[in-house]
Structure formats: structure tokens, C-alpha cells
Amino acid sequence: MAKITLKKIAETLGISVATVSKALKDYDDVSPETKAKVKSLAESLNYKPNFLAQSLRNQESKTIGLIIPEIVHHFFASIIAGVINAAKKKGYLVITLQSGESYDFEKKQIELLLDKNVDGILLSLADNTVDYMHLSNLIESGFPIVLYDKITKSIHCSKVVINDQKAAFNATQYLIDTGCKKIAHVRGPLKPQTTIDRFIGYKNALKENDIEFDTSIVFEAPHLSLEDGQKIAKEIYKNHKDVDAVFAFTDLTATGVMVGLKELNVKIPEEVSIMGFSNWLLTRITSPKLSTVNQPGFKMGKQAFKVLYKEIKDRKAKTKVEFKTVELPTKLVIRDSTR
Amino acid sequence: MAKITLKKIAETLGISVATVSKALKDYDDVSPETKAKVKSLAESLNYKPNFLAQSLRNQESKTIGLIIPEIVHHFFASIIAGVINAAKKKGYLVITLQSGESYDFEKKQIELLLDKNVDGILLSLADNTVDYMHLSNLIESGFPIVLYDKITKSIHCSKVVINDQKAAFNATQYLIDTGCKKIAHVRGPLKPQTTIDRFIGYKNALKENDIEFDTSIVFEAPHLSLEDGQKIAKEIYKNHKDVDAVFAFTDLTATGVMVGLKELNVKIPEEVSIMGFSNWLLTRITSPKLSTVNQPGFKMGKQAFKVLYKEIKDRKAKTKVEFKTVELPTKLVIRDSTR
């Protein structure tokens, strides 16, 4: 109910839901005129629940929102665990929402969380989010948001990431150092910064080693799935017999390539080395065990909460907030799928 | 802060935190005397925040709590996704907490959730929870709680489960039907009802088929891990050469047994059939692919929310609440690790 009313007020006045929410909470960055308009309209719409909630506002709600693209995914599940673990230590609770890689859900979920009076939001962008107004308005209004993992350079706020370019460079360099000469790359969908950066890291390593870059052996795995990898394996086997290594942007797809090539009796790693990315549990189970890049999900979740917590405290204390980007180290985990 | 005060009031008056919370919210099942005592003490402790929160109480908070033993776990992550999916459809938000199989955390987390005015709680019991007073008091006071997956017969409330006994019976029967004569069982820790029931199902299938039950080939996997399974594989190879099948209570441990036996050059499934339980993603990746029992996590999460939602609505409408146990069907998924 409350949400519908917030929206109604926003639409009636032609302003954003975030501004309405801020106006009702008496934030400094909303003009007195707007505040007056919003409050009078809210009163006439009988918007009582949130006037009460508003009184609670000065006490922190000690709840944060966590928007995650996909819960059933080893890396993101690790992030949830890390956030909840760090939040617990500070007495915070975490409302988790799944955007399912949808921009529309992401927008709605941010509104829902604002309506719940969360003290801040941790967000990994949905793959199809390309318009950032819903976020930049909110950040400009002084609401604490920290982006993690899937970020964009277009938004000015704190971020917690790994250096995907460097990690992918190192993984490719390892393949080159162990004698691979024709290294295929399996990348993810076109938009996310993570998949772009891993692709750039791969390309840079080739360049650094004077290996010609060949677009015909860069494959896209649209669903990040095992099946995507299996299909690509067939394609490599059929049309690119000279490929002697595959660097895939995620473990599940790397495993798909491995399963696919094995079914075609290609010897791993003797004929083709395979390198994944993320270090999921499954990498210890594949046969041969998968070499990969360790992406520290639990640590990223913990760190993201810590950065958000500091921002919440700084804003409360009216200290100047300095946005920062924390880069967590990754490391190569060499197992049996690479030479 | 609020939480500390709730606790202080409870301790001072020698009553439970749940009763304090109910008294402050004017629930019918707390006596007027207790209410008066609680309220006067609360006032003298300057317990303002929740007097305000209390005014919000009659509006539903449209938030529920979800307590999960372990987030980074394919089955439980699927449950979270299912709960969030179903909750979204009804406009509810989900606060997720991880008990880490600890009774103490579980108790504290329920208090935290009550303090947040959640409308209900979904709970899978921690492995070491054996005292249920914290739950039964709450349920008796009319607070909606639904247990899922790891339940106990000692608590009278609604539950969402699979029939672990039947599923384990069917899995064992399949091994017998395909010619296995000496079937080992890997069970989990002693307390959880799920592991007890899977063990009973295994035993019943042996009995039904006149196969002697042999305690020396029932192994315990205390950490539910890959490594537990690998250790048990060595033990089977060393001391139980006649074992021709292993039914493990969870896929990860089954995979550990498979990996361990393969390292000892035992042929799977020609010499030993292996059957897991749960149908994690990893079962499609092991070599050979693991036969298992499909445990519908996503559906269980959805169903658990639906049952909780109905109870919330029924209590609000003062309709009589009938506790029910929903049993979700499982099915055998036969792949390549069984004959």
C-alpha cells in the first residue's frame, strides 16, 4: 500500500520516488518547496503509515538491502554469506532480493527497499541495466549505495571489485607460459563490465606475447551454462582443430567445454588445456580437476558490507563521504586441466 | 539497542523475549498483568523506538524472516531463490539469516527477526538444535512459523518436507533391482531428522528384500563434505572389498566416495554403483555422472512461503489456523554411476 502511494505522489508531482521518499524524511537535499508539496499531497492521500515510519527514521533501521543477480550460483551465494556474516557483527540484518538480470526488477526492488527504510543498498548490476538514472539520482541525494562485482564506470559511488583484466591476463599468460599457442576464449554476454574486462585481459596477454588475435576463436556463451560450453566444444572440434587451449570466463562454461571435448575423445590437458574463472566447488570435482582463477566471493561480500557500513556512519555523522573502489586480489589455482 | 532492551525486560521479569515482544504489541494471549508489567518497565527503560514500531504493527510489515542453515549449498540456495520468488509475487520482502547449524545463533536470530516486526518466519532447524522451547512458546503465542526441510516431530506447526524415508527406500531398491547385493550407506550427523529418515529408508529396503543389515558398512560423514566421502572410500576399499554399491545421503559426499574409489582404480559402476541424494548441479559434472534423488529445493522454498502466507492471512482474519505438513514428491534420477 505504502509503495503505491509513494509512486502516486511521485507521478502526480512529476518527480522521482526517491525524491518523494527523501522529502518525507526531511533530507537536506530536497528543496523546502518540494518538501511542502510532497507532504501536503501525502497528507491528503492519507499517507499515515510512513509518517510513523518516518519518526523511526532517525534511528537507523539497521537493515540493508542486498540485490543479487542470481542466488543459485556458487559465487553469488558466497557473496550473500559474506555480507550476512559481516552485517551480523555490526547488528545489521540483510534483505536479499534477486534481480534475475532484469533492469525492471532492479528498479522496482530499489524502490521496495527504500520503502522499507533500509540504511543502504549493496548492488551488483543486472546484465541488461544500461540506464543508470535510478541509481545516480539516489546516490546524489545522499543515499548510501555500494556496487560490487558487476559495476559500471558511469556511476560515481563506492565499489568493491576484483581486477578482472589483470586476472584474465594472468590466466592467459599461464597458458602461454606452458606452451599453448592457439588460445580460444569463451566470453559472456556483451554488456557486463566483468566479461568485457576478462576479454580485454585475454587480448592484452596475446598482444604482450606477440600472438595474433583471432576473432574466429572468441566464442560467446549467452547463458553462462554448461550446455553453452558443450556446444562451443563441438564448434572448436569441428572448425578449429589447431586450438590447443581454452580460457573461459566462468567455471561452469569451462567445464562444459571440457565435458564436450572429452566426449569427442580430445585429451585434456595433453591436446587442449582448459582454464576457468571463479573457483567454484565444481572445479575440484571435474575430471581432470579444473585450473581456474580464484574469485573471492565471501571476502567480496564482507568487504562490500564494510564499505557500506562506513558510508552509513559517515553520513550520519555528517562527515564528508569519500567514494572509493576496493580491489580484491585474485590468484591462479593450477590443477590438472592445464599443461 | 532495541534488542538489548527487549532482553533486559525479559530477564528482569523472568519471562521470554517472545512474551515481552507480544506484550508490547498487545497480543491477546498475554495476560493483562504481564502486559502492564512489561509496559511499565519498558517505559522506565525509555524503550521508545518500539512503541513507535508497535503503532506500525497493525499494518503488516510485509517482511518475513528466512533462517537457513548454510547459504553456500546448492539445495539451500535453491530454497532461498524459491522463497524470494514466491514472496515477490505477494509483495513480501525476505530477511535471510544463516544459522550455521548453531542452536545459539538460531535463537538469537529469531529474536532479531521478532524485533524487526516480521510477519512470520521460515525455519530449517540447525543440526544441533534439540531444545525447542524458543519455538514452541512463540508458536503457542500465535506467531506464524513454518518449518521446512530439517524439521522435528516435537514441534506442532506447519511443515514443508520431502518424504526422506520413501526417497531413500526407492534409491536403495533401485540398487537392489540392478543386482547390487552388498550396499553400504553413508549417513550424516546423528541428530537431523532428514539423515535419520534416509537411514531408515535404506534399512527398510534391505529388510523388504531379505538382505542382512550390516552396521559395519554404515559410515558417518560428519562434515557432509567431499573429503568425508574420500576417507570413507579408502575404508571401504581396505576393509570391505565385497561392497558393490554405496548409497550416500548427499551428493557431495557421494562424489567424494566416487573420487576416492576411482583413485584406487575401482571401476564405477562396474565394480561399485554409487547413488547420491539431492541432485545438485555437480551430479551432471562428475565422471561418470552421478545417479541421485531429486530434492526440489526451489519448489520447497515456494511452497514454504505459500503455507506461511496463508497462515499470516488466516491469523489476521482471525480464521482458525490448521497446521499442515506438505510433502513434496521426489524422483530418482538415474545417470551413469549406477549399473
User: Which is more confident, B208 or A9?
Assistant: B208
How high is the mean pLDDT of chain B? 89
Residue B55: per-residue pLDDT: 42
Residue A47: per-residue pLDDT: 62
Chain A hits for B81, CB-CB cut-off 8 Å, are 71-72, 98
User: Which is more confident, B153 or A94?
Assistant: A94
> In this structure, what C-alpha cell is assigned to residue A147?
556496487
Position A307 confidence tier, pLDDT thresholds 50, 70, 90: very high
Q: What is the CATH number of domain B164-294?
A: 3.40.50.2300
Q: Look at B286 and A284 and tell me if their CB atoms are within 8 Å.
A: no
The angle subtended at Cα A75 by Cα A339 and Cα A153, nearest 5°, is 100
pLDDT in tens, B66-81: 999 888 888 999 999 9
State the best of A56, A64, A93, A336 to mutate against chain B, taking most chain B CBs within 10 Å.
Answer: A93
pLDDT tops 60 at residue A58 = no
A–B interface: beta-carbon pairs under 8 A: 98
Topology annotation, domain B1-59: 434 Repressor (Amino-terminal Domain) (1.10.260)
User: Which of A106-110, A153-157, A323-327 is most confident?
Assistant: A323-327
pLDDT in tens, A141-174: 899 999 999 988 889 999 999 999 999 999 999 9
Residue A46: per-residue pLDDT: 62
Q: Look at B93 and A72 and tell me if their CB atoms are within 8 Å.
A: no
pLDDT tops 80 at residue A101 = no
Gap from B77 CA to chain A (nearest CA, Å)? 5
Q: How far apart are CA B147 and CA B159, in angstroms?
A: 5
Q: Which residue intervals of chain B are DSSP H helices?
A: 2-13, 17-24, 32-44, 48-56, 74-89, 103-115, 133-140, 164-177, 193-208, 226-239, 251-263, 297-316
C-alpha dihedral, A237 to A75 to A148 to A101, nearest 10°: 70
pLDDT in tens, B150-204: 888 889 999 999 999 999 999 999 999 999 999 999 999 888 889 999 999 999 9
Position B54 confidence tier, pLDDT thresholds 50, 70, 90: very low
- The structural domains of chain A, with segments of one domain joined by +, span 1-59, 164-295
How high is the mean pLDDT of chain A? 89
Q: How far apart are CA B338 and CA B269, in angstroms?
A: 5
A1-59 and A164-295 share one CATH topology? no
Residue A116: per-residue pLDDT: 83
The angle subtended at Cα A283 by Cα A277 and Cα A286, nearest 5°, is 130
Residue A192: per-residue pLDDT: 82
pLDDT in tens, B244-292: 999 999 999 999 999 999 999 999 999 999 999 999 988 988 889 999 9
Q: Look at A91 and B3 and tell me if their CB atoms are within 8 Å.
A: yes
Residue B56: per-residue pLDDT: 45
Position A296 confidence tier, pLDDT thresholds 50, 70, 90: very high
User: Which is more confident, A230 or A37?
Assistant: A230
pLDDT in tens, A251-287: 999 999 999 999 999 999 999 999 999 999 889 888 8
Q: Look at B84 and A63 and tell me if their CB atoms are within 8 Å.
A: no
- Nearest CA to B60 among B181, B144, B135? B144
Sign of CA dihedral A211, A212, A213, A216: negative
Residue A196: per-residue pLDDT: 93
Q: What is the CATH number of domain A164-295?
A: 3.40.50.2300
Residue A36: per-residue pLDDT: 85
Q: Look at A72 and B78 and tell me if their CB atoms are within 8 Å.
A: yes
Q: Which residue intervals of chain A are DSSP H helices?
A: 2-13, 17-24, 32-44, 48-57, 74-89, 103-115, 133-140, 164-177, 193-208, 226-239, 251-263, 297-316
Position B59 confidence tier, pLDDT thresholds 50, 70, 90: low
Position B58 confidence tier, pLDDT thresholds 50, 70, 90: low
**Mean of pLDDT values over B41-58:** 55
